[in-house]
Structure 1
Amino acid sequence: MIFRKLFLIGFIGIALTTTAKNEVEFTTKSCDIKVEFYTPSIVRIVKVPKGHTFNKKSLVVIANPLDVAITRNGNKITSDSLSITVDNLGRITFKNKKGKLLLKEKNSNFVLRTDGADKGAYKVSQTFSLEKDEPVYGLGTIQNGILSRRNTHKLMEQSNLEDFQNVVQSIKGWGLYWDNYSPTNYDDDANGMSLSSEVGDGMDYYFMYGKNADGVISQMRHLSGKVPMFPLWTFGYWQSKERYKSSKEVVDVVDKYRELHVPLDGIIQDWQYWGSNYNWNAMEFLADDYLDGAKMIEKVHSKNAHFMISIWASFGPMTKAYKQLNEKGLLFDFQTWPQSGLTPWPPRMDYPSGVCVYDAFSQDARDIYWQNLKRLFNLGVDAWWMDSTDPDFFNPTEHDYEHKAGNGTWRSLRNAFPLCTVGGVYDSQRKENSNKRVFIMTRSAFAGQQRYGSNMWSGDVASSWDMLRKQIPAGLNFSLTGDPNFNTDIGGFFCGSYNNHGSGSATHNPQYQELYVRWLQYGLFCPVFRSHGTDAPREIYQFGKKGEPIYDAIEKMINLRYRLLPYIYSTAWQVTSKDYSYMRPLFSDFASDRKVWNMPDEFMFGSSILAAPIVEAKYTQEKIIKENAMTGWDSKEVKAQPESTAANFNENKTTRKYLPAGTKWFDFWTGKQYNGGQYVNISTSLSEVPMFMRAGSIIPLAPEMEYTGEKKWDNLEIRIYPGADGNFTLYEDEGDNYNYEKGMYATINFHWDNANKILTIGKQKGNYPGIIKDRQFNIVTPNGKKYHINYNGSEIKAHI
């Protein structure tokens, strides 16, 4: 942006010019400002020191400004949704059309960088004034257990356990995306809310007025990209651990699940299938125990399961990719994982691995990455586990930050690395084959990454009740940045502190067993339902056998996940088509209830289910664990400890949960009805997670199955929860290609008329190969009454 010749307006200190129908430029004594409307409710603000040239192509924002009608009256610009005023010091005030104050700038600051690779750029900072009791949310997966971001001070730089998207939103219905990729400090205190970035040619942010949380999320996706559909099978159960050590072991795990008739849709191969660290991330089966990797994948597929494999953002010096990238100068030389060419921890630095991170900001580098990854894709790999996409960045020096990266420096682009590396795989696979939907699981994410078919997990979290509690607000705040796809390592990654009787014994320790079951019950309500970790295996049969309380509790939740698949997959369509979210903080639906504004342990799962997982020990003593993602690798064998009092997992316990005001609620397990706006004490067992259905909800449940697609959805149970009118749209398609983008899918709308007790099942709309035309719906109400409806695609009404 080069500012044009300006003319003075009616007071000293600021000048204004009109440059296009949807934008206005100002100048003050110290800076130039551009106000550009992208929609009537989204406005871009750019500030640069006076006379400075600003010309930037965003890595995140892919939307173009619409033709927005605005009116100008002096220093005030108004659209159909917003009123923006720029004062004589360049401070901007945002109000809605009715004049309600939304957000106000306090001060801006630019500090010229006078040396180093970023010389000529600026350190940029903007401070805003918030109302005293105004909670704000978002930013990313800060692991502090708190929902609101008020009174937070955080250096936002991607890492193993915390990731940042630079998106914040308020209970007042406004959102802000700070379009900067360098490490950024977020601070909120008596001085205001400020964002301060280490590098920028100017200050660049987008103000969004969505009126509520969903509106802000929708606007962020308008700017940065919509969410594609994941394959249906990705919503089933995934089994993993660090790590399966042979192709035989992988196949044996799938076999065991099929033998036990426990549902399973995915098996994951973690690292080192390539052998030596010098071959790190070779993207080939080179280890002796994986030489039959292609046959392994065939066997997994023959058992109606899918295969995901670990890939990294770095390469060992003996790999083909390393040599190709190195020839073109597309490798960074900073320290990353693994530091040693030998496998044990701590690393032997006298045997350095030579592993280097690749320059994902370069299109050439992303192309080389895919050329090598294509070897695995051609073997039939179904999904990618992109580890260390932060990436691991150890002992950083000034030299490391000044390394050339893409068209900038590592410092200037650092936080956008996950966006670019994940985007490279997504774009390449879609060009290669449109018959298989891209599914990527990644350890890190930046704003806009929702458009790349990826689900982020929260890193190598420790196995503790404290960490379990922190995952809920971390996931909710992540969703509030516009990316709905979040999951965690069920059971926590590092569980070695529970190995009281030798390696792997945690699964027989009642303290860990209880934690694992409760973590699994939280995972039930995440878009990806995946068990993973080190120090002890996590397969269901490691916890006992059928008829024992821990095994049965695990099996019950996995079965429930499969019964919920029609609800979850229909929600996925709402995420794609209507900018919805899976995991929703309670204020998204009940903002008028101030008690939920900072509630960190309950949330809505889709539109109807209140998820209230138990996140404290009820049967055992809570074990205090203090471990981080690096010290966890320095595992020490825990000496045998005296046995604690045996836990009676067959007992019922009492838990206290809050039900938001404004509706009635039904206990999923008992059908009991409660009024909202109160805490309730409920009796619960180890095998049941507290969950409540909102009045007016319509919940489709599938029959139990061992993998998605085993049984057609031609005999669904439909649960009706009366007390309010309700609607639900059942969505179906082929499950694993992009034909839905061409309109090849079908929907059935359900409407509950509460006053007249009439359920209307609308006409089936749309078509796709394999569509179900004749089916039975089995209607169930909380009082236990059942009705059977034969449905052939035509509208039908039933008095319930």
Structure 2
Amino acid sequence: MYKTFFFLFNAIGCLTFSGDCLAQQTTYQKTENGIVIQTQDANQNRLIKLDVIADKIIHVTVGPISTFSNQPSLMAIDRPSTKIKWSVVEQSQEIVLSTDSISVVINRNNGNIVYKDQAGRVLLSEKENSRSFKSVSNNGEASFQLMQAFKSPSEEAIYGLGQHQDDMMNYKGKQVLLLQNNTDVAIPFLLSNQNYGILWDNYSITKVGDVRTYQPLSALKLFDAEGHEGWLTATYHDTKEKNVFLKRAESDIDYSFLSDMNKFPEGYKLEDGLVNWEGKVASGFEGLHHLQVKYAGYIKIWIDGVLLVDKWRQAWNPGSAVVAVKMLKDKRYDLKMQWVPDGGPSYLSLKCLTPIPEDEKDQYAFLSESGDEINYYFIAGKNADEVISGYRNLTGKAVLMPKWAMGFWQSRERYKTQDELLDVVKTFRDRKIPLDNIVLDWQYWKLDSWGTHEFDKDRFQDPDAMIKKLHDNYHTKLMISVWPKFYTGNANYDFMNKKGFLYERNVVNQEKDWLGFTSTFYDAFNPAARKAFWELMKKKLYVKGIDAWWMDATEPDIHSNLPIESRKELMNPTFLGSSTKYFNAFPLQNSKGVYEGQRSVKPNDRVFILTRSAYAGLQRYGAATWSGDIASRWEDMKSQISAGINFSLSGLPYWTMDVGGFSVERRYEKPNEIDLAEWRELNSRWFQFGAFVPLFRAHGQFPYREIYNIAPENHPAYKSMLYYNKLRYRLMPYVYSLAGQTFKDDYTIMRGLMMDFGKDKAVNNINDQYMFGPSLLINPVYQYKATNRPVYLPKGTGWYNLYDGKYFAGGETINAASPYERMPIFVKEGSIIPFGPELQYTDEKPADTLHLYVYGGKDATFSLYEDEGINNNYEKGAFSTIQFNYNQQSNSLTIQSRVGEFKGMLNKRIFKVFLINSKSPKPLNFEQKATQTINYTGKQITTKL
């Protein structure tokens, strides 16, 4: 590892700066973009480097010794040198570095840093003496466990940090574990409602927030069912609770991984079991405790008779939940937990965190397993959008997805034959169900040929002809599943292995996957391995005309359900160093190889990747992320709302989920009448929600997820799903303009309410509502048989019901009607929404007539973005925008002159304008008479409405 050495002379004499000799003692040295500081406190003797990246972005590096590493960042991009105006002043106890927008105040003794705005208001402070560097060795590599804490005022709310399944919006006072796992995505970017962000440039497993270690349940006082202290009573039954297999004392409940299966009673069959834990718990502390449960199968937890957890997850992919419980010191609370494993092996653990100590309540921290130094970026902004723009300044622009990706995708686990896949697409077209993309999931290869990238000829007789028919006859794109995985014994494995491009440990261990074969993954940190991996994809798949890539298991999930130390062993060493140091960055490097590989072949074609995991910077590689193998349950649907919002607040704009959930309870496989009714309603409600996330796709295990397989066409479920599918396509001018704005202006499509209504403190913790673009308030219905739901309408503006145009004042919670076929959607006062023609696929016909719905009461604006939709000419400026402005006072609409041009652009079009206001509501009906009809030729025109 290369080091850059800085020699700071703090004794008698002078320090030279650019030829100037200072006659006084100093403690900093100027560099090209900032300063380097040597602290004076013997107990905190650190070397600190501040780099001015932009007017509101400061890069902070703190070394544990008098050196800095010279390792390039994987998440931050190289950027051309730009001259940023900044200055530095040395005071008696402080050094102040200032730009035109912010100042950074460094305590010259202990190195503590405070960030302030132009007015001197504190934006963020490091907590005094909170840095720590603990020397560690990872596979013989010297490193440090790193921690940095920041002060956090009581009114602060924190967001981002990737995608997690804990149903939380605001992470203040909680712990977020940044660990790549199926359904959990680690992104080390924190966004504060105080209008700043922190990008933590580290690749190891990291805790954020309350970084204490969860303790075993025995950290609490336990009492069994008869009052004996020290344990709970665990009773192992059969599933009907008629026969007791064993009753025993248990003080810790930790069956987290495959290696823990031997802890269960010998001879007990989990697949036929039911376990009850009963007794009482007490704590030596008073306050808010957090219980963390990891579960597979059915789990219920009661405390004092109140049901706090009622969940299910498939046995092979456990879920997790965190429950907050207020406890009085030494008071005993009844505890009951019931678990039905629903398969085997299955997983369960229950751990706890006692209340946050008083001296840690005013803080949050980052604690990383491994790194050379503390390394982070402070990003300030006037609002959340500016902060996210700063994040993309550092990590790269979000490239524009192809327009077809904004349409509907159909998928299932899995289409087993060529005929089956083509028949699904034909049925969509015959039934007039809009569709742009069909997804071919895993096992299109022969059973023992994973990693060959070859179709099984017995089931896919002519994949070239299949793809051509999809393109030419059905106007449908094909996305195909590709894993970073290779079975031993095939030519691709042998090639990659001979080159030294594969992780070897899983093969040496002779571990079998769930299909019974030995496999391993390639080392995506190796540039040559990434190039070779792409060449294999190109040779066998890309040349056939594949449109997009489904990059599965990119955590990487080399072997499921192993302890994290075992997972790290399986990818050790990486090309760059210890897997402990680089664990979380695998999905970023994997997407980098595919993106750069495809662009090297066809540089003007847009790359599109869907990946199960992500890391900071992924947006620059044409990649979106989905939320993994979630369950088909109402609570899982609800948890996707906050998961998707926080993912978007992490700076990555393209997110999606398996509409309907992936894994299915057995009761739905051969449902009775009652279960079938719930299945249909669950899918309807999820579909309504799914139409208003950045990417709209249905996927899952059996039962099949095509809407005609869920319900007949005369059923409310079918009608509702078809309605929202068509509405998504009608909204394509709006949706694609948001995508264009995401590229041009670093916009965020799926928006937490704090982004647009930050002054309304009531929105800070709302985890089940969000804005889709600037105008649409989305409120998914996630309770069975609900026909209404509470909806908070943020204050500061009025709101219109999308469907009937009825007006509501903001700043109140209403009981919104939610009939089976409709999800409550409200439009922000002062909005313009363009609707296009009814479509069967995104490029079926030009949007030569647009319906402009103008929601009055306030001035409104919208910028319509258009380009060629499939190539990268937009990067060279080949796009157009048309600005619409509504003036409330004059009741007029101005359509500005079109700016820009591109091949195939419409020079003339018709705008049908519909004005809605509080006194004149109008339903969403494209057949009704327009308020005005405007013939537009590209020149500015103003019309009175």
Q: Please say whether Structure 1 and Structure 2 have the same fold, judged by a TM-score greater than 0.5.
A: yes
CA shift, 1:462, in A, is: 0.6
CA shift, 1:511, in A, is: 1.0
Question: 3-state SS of the aligned residue for 1:185?
Answer: strand
Q: 1:723 to 1:127 in 2, by over 3 A?
A: same
1:617 and 2:775 matched? no
What CA distance in whole angstroms lies between the structure 1 residues aligned with 2:510 and 2:674? 31
Q: Which deviations, in whole Å up to 9, do the C-alpha atoms of 1:13-44 show, x marking residues without a partner?
A: 99322223533433343211111111121111
What CA distance in whole angstroms lies between the structure 2 residues aligned with 1:131 and 1:688? 40
Q: 1:384 aligns with which of 549, 556, 576?
A: 549
8 Å Cα contact 1:139/1:167 also seen in 2: yes
1:38 and 2:53 matched? yes
* Equivalent in the alignment of 2:132: 109
Q: 1:309 aligns with which of 477, 480, 489?
A: 480
CA shift, 1:287, in A, is: 4.9
8 Å Cα contact 1:118/1:402 also seen in 2: no
Question: 3-state SS of the aligned residue for 2:435?
Answer: coil
Q: 1:579 aligns with which of 730, 737, 746?
A: 746
1:282 and 2:452 matched? yes
What CA distance in whole angstroms lies between the structure 1 residues aligned with 2:640 and 2:424? 28
What CA distance in whole angstroms lies between the structure 1 residues aligned with 2:579 and 2:179? 12
Identity of aligned residues (%): 37
What CA distance in whole angstroms lies between the structure 2 residues aligned with 1:727 and 1:23? 44
Deviates more, 1:219-228 or 1:706-715: 706-715
CA shift, 1:738, in A, is: 0.6
1:219 and 2:390 matched? yes
8 Å Cα contact 2:864/2:882 also seen in 1: yes
What CA distance in whole angstroms lies between the structure 2 residues aligned with 1:566 and 1:329? 48
8 Å Cα contact 1:273/1:286 also seen in 2: yes
* Equivalent in the alignment of 2:164: 142
8 Å Cα contact 2:535/2:597 also seen in 1: no
What CA distance in whole angstroms lies between the structure 1 residues aligned with 2:461 and 2:67? 58
8 Å Cα contact 1:334/1:393 also seen in 2: no
Gap runs ≥5 in structure 1:
620-652
1:659-674 matched pairs, under 5 angstroms: 659-674=793-808
8 Å Cα contact 1:6/1:26 also seen in 2: no
Q: 1:750 to 1:216 in 2, by over 3 A?
A: same
CA shift, 1:470, in A, is: 0.8
1:419-434 matched pairs, under 5 angstroms: 419-434=588-603
CA shift, 1:726, in A, is: 0.9
Q: 2:121 aligns with which of 73, 97, 100?
A: 100
What CA distance in whole angstroms lies between the structure 2 residues aligned with 1:756 and 1:40? 39
CA shift, 1:51, in A, is: 2.2
1:475 and 2:639 matched? no
What CA distance in whole angstroms lies between the structure 2 residues aligned with 1:339 and 1:2? 46
8 Å Cα contact 1:14/1:27 also seen in 2: no
8 Å Cα contact 2:587/2:614 also seen in 1: yes
8 Å Cα contact 2:141/2:578 also seen in 1: no
CA shift, 1:412, in A, is: 1.1
Aligned pair count? 754
Amino acid at match of 1:433: K
Deviates more, 1:398-407 or 1:552-561: 398-407
* Equivalent in the alignment of 1:55: 70
Q: 1:443 aligns with which of 597, 603, 612?
A: 612
1:161 and 2:211 matched? no
Question: 3-state SS of the aligned residue for 1:288?
Answer: coil
What CA distance in whole angstroms lies between the structure 1 residues aligned with 2:71 and 2:814? 53
CA shift, 1:675, in A, is: 0.9
* Equivalent in the alignment of 2:534: 370
Q: 1:27 to 1:274 in 2, by over 3 A?
A: same
What CA distance in whole angstroms lies between the structure 1 residues aligned with 2:589 and 2:25? 41
* Equivalent in the alignment of 2:269: none
Q: 1:397 to 1:175 in 2, by over 3 A?
A: closer
* Equivalent in the alignment of 1:81: 101
CA shift, 1:780, in A, is: 1.4
Q: 1:531 to 1:21 in 2, by over 3 A?
A: closer
What CA distance in whole angstroms lies between the structure 2 residues aligned with 1:154 and 1:701? 40
* Equivalent in the alignment of 1:66: 82
Q: 1:536 to 1:789 in 2, by over 3 A?
A: same
* Equivalent in the alignment of 1:17: 29
Question: 3-state SS of the aligned residue for 2:541?
Answer: helix
Amino acid at match of 2:550: W
Q: Which deviations, in whole Å up to 9, do the C-alpha atoms of 1:200-246 show, x marking residues without a partner?
A: 11111111111321111000000000011111111111000000000
Q: 2:10 aligns with which of 7, 12, 18?
A: 7
Q: Which deviations, in whole Å up to 9, do the C-alpha atoms of 1:253-300 show, x marking residues without a partner?
A: 000001101111110000001112x31132121352013111111111
Q: 2:521 aligns with which of 347, 357, 363?
A: 357
Name the one with the larger strand percent: 2
Q: 1:582 to 1:335 in 2, by over 3 A?
A: farther
1:603-614 matched pairs, under 5 angstroms: 603-614=770-781
Q: Which deviations, in whole Å up to 9, do the C-alpha atoms of 1:126-161 show, x marking residues without a partner?
A: 111111231111111121111111122233110101
* Equivalent in the alignment of 2:677: 510
Deviates more, 1:72-81 or 1:599-608: 72-81
Q: 1:297 aligns with which of 464, 467, 470?
A: 467
1:398-797 matched pairs, under 5 angstroms: 400=569, 403-499=572-668, 501=670, 509-618=676-785, 653-782=787-916, 783-784=921-922, 786=930, 787-797=932-942
Higher-Rg member (1/2): 2
Amino acid at match of 2:83: D
Give the alignment's TM-score, normalised by structure 2. 0.77
* Equivalent in the alignment of 2:271: none
8 Å Cα contact 1:22/1:67 also seen in 2: no
What CA distance in whole angstroms lies between the structure 2 residues aligned with 1:86 and 1:732? 47
Q: 1:185 aligns with which of 192, 207, 210?
A: 207
Q: Which deviations, in whole Å up to 9, do the C-alpha atoms of 1:161-196 show, x marking residues without a partner?
A: 101110001111010011000111223245221111
Give the alignment's TM-score, normalised by structure 1. 0.91
| Aligned Cα root-mean-square deviation (Å) | 2.2
8 Å Cα contact 2:56/2:101 also seen in 1: yes
What CA distance in whole angstroms lies between the structure 2 residues aligned with 1:72 and 1:401? 48
Gap runs ≥5 in structure 2:
16-21, 211-355, 923-928
8 Å Cα contact 1:14/1:26 also seen in 2: no
Q: 1:335 to 1:557 in 2, by over 3 A?
A: farther
Q: 1:268 aligns with which of 439, 456, 460?
A: 439
Q: Which deviations, in whole Å up to 9, do the C-alpha atoms of 1:518-569 show, x marking residues without a partner?
A: 1111111111100000131000111222222111111011000100100000
Q: 1:718 to 1:508 in 2, by over 3 A?
A: farther
Amino acid at match of 2:169: L
8 Å Cα contact 2:10/2:26 also seen in 1: no
